[in-house]
Structure 1
Amino acid sequence: MRGTPTRRMIAVMALVPVVVAVALWAFAWPAARTAPHGLPVGVAGPAAAATALEEQLHRRGDAFEVHRLTDEAAAREAIGAREVYGALVASPSGPRLLTAPAAGPAVAQLLTAAAQSPDGPPVEVAEVVPLPAGDPRGSGFAASVLPLTLAGVAAGALVALTGLRGARAAGALAGAAALAGVTVAAMAHSWLGVLAGDWWQEAGALGLTTLAVGSAVAGLAALLGPRGIGLGGFLAVLLGNAFAGAAAAPELLPAPVGALGQWLPPGAGVSLVRSVSFFDGAGAGPAALALAAWVALGLAALALGARRRPGPAPAPKQPAAAAA
Structure 2
Amino acid sequence: MSTPSGTYATRPDPRRLAAVVVLVPLLAALALWAFAWPAARTAPRDLPLGVAGPAAATAQAEQQLARHRGAFEVHRYADGAAAREAVRDRAVYGAIVVTDRGPELLTASAASPLVAQLLQQAVSAGGAAPRTVDVVPAPTSDPRGAALTASVLPLALAGIAAGAAVPLLGLRGARAVTSLVGASALVGVTAAAITHSWLAVLTGDWWAEAAVLGLSTLAVSSAVAGLGALLGRAGVGLAAAVLMLLGNPFSGAGSAPEMLPEPAGAIGQWLPPGAGTTLLRSVSYFDGAAALEPALTLTWWAAVGLGAVLLGSALKSRAGQRKPGAGREPAPAG
Band the TM-score falls in, shorter-chain normalisation: over 0.9
Match of 2:4 in 1: none
Displacement of 1:68 in angstroms is 0.3
What is the rounded CA distance, in whole Å, between the counterparts of 2:230 and 2:330 in structure 1?
Answer: 35
What is the rounded CA distance, in whole Å, between the counterparts of 1:286 and 1:233 in structure 2?
Answer: 23
Match of 1:290 in 2: 297
Q: Given residue 100 of structure 2, which amino acid in structure 1 is its aligned partner? A: P
Residue 204 of structure 2 is aligned to residue 191 of structure 1: no
Whether the 8 Å contact between 1:268 and 1:291 is mirrored in structure 2 is yes
Match of 1:92 in 2: 100
What is the rounded CA distance, in whole Å, between the counterparts of 1:99 and 1:39 in structure 2?
Answer: 13
Q: Given residue 149 of structure 1, which amino acid in structure 2 is its aligned partner? A: A
Q: How does 1:1-324 map to 2 (within 5 A)?
A: 4-118=12-126, 120-310=127-317
Q: Secondary structure at the match of 2:102?
A: coil
Displacement of 1:194 in angstroms is 1.3
Normalising by structure 1, what TM-score?
A: 0.94
Matched residue pairs, number?
319
What is the rounded CA distance, in whole Å, between the counterparts of 2:180 and 2:198 in structure 1?
Answer: 26
Whether the 8 Å contact between 1:142 and 1:247 is mirrored in structure 2 is yes
Q: Secondary structure at the match of 2:48?
A: strand
Displacement of 1:310 in angstroms is 2.0
What is the rounded CA distance, in whole Å, between the counterparts of 1:159 and 1:180 in structure 2?
Answer: 16
Q: Secondary structure at the match of 1:95?
A: strand
Displacement of 1:213 in angstroms is 0.4
Whether the 8 Å contact between 2:212 and 2:280 is mirrored in structure 1 is yes
What is the rounded CA distance, in whole Å, between the counterparts of 2:176 and 2:202 in structure 1?
Answer: 31
Q: Deviations over 1:102-138 (max 9, x none)?
A: 11111111111101031x3221111111111111111
Displacement of 1:299 in angstroms is 1.4
CA RMSD of superposed structures (Å): 1.8
Match of 2:6 in 1: none
Displacement of 1:237 in angstroms is 1.2
Identity among equivalent pairs (%): 59
What is the rounded CA distance, in whole Å, between the counterparts of 1:243 and 1:57 in structure 2?
Answer: 26
Normalising by structure 2, what TM-score?
A: 0.92
Q: Given residue 91 of structure 1, which amino acid in structure 2 is its aligned partner? A: T
Displacement of 1:51 in angstroms is 1.9
Q: Given residue 117 of structure 1, which amino acid in structure 2 is its aligned partner? A: A
Whether the 8 Å contact between 1:94 and 1:121 is mirrored in structure 2 is no
Displacement of 1:320 in angstroms is 7.4
Q: Point out where structure 1 has 5 or more consecutive residues left out of the alignment.
A: none
What is the rounded CA distance, in whole Å, between the counterparts of 1:108 and 1:230 in structure 2?
Answer: 38
Q: Secondary structure at the match of 1:73?
A: helix
Displacement of 1:321 in angstroms is 9.1
Bigger radius of gyration: 2
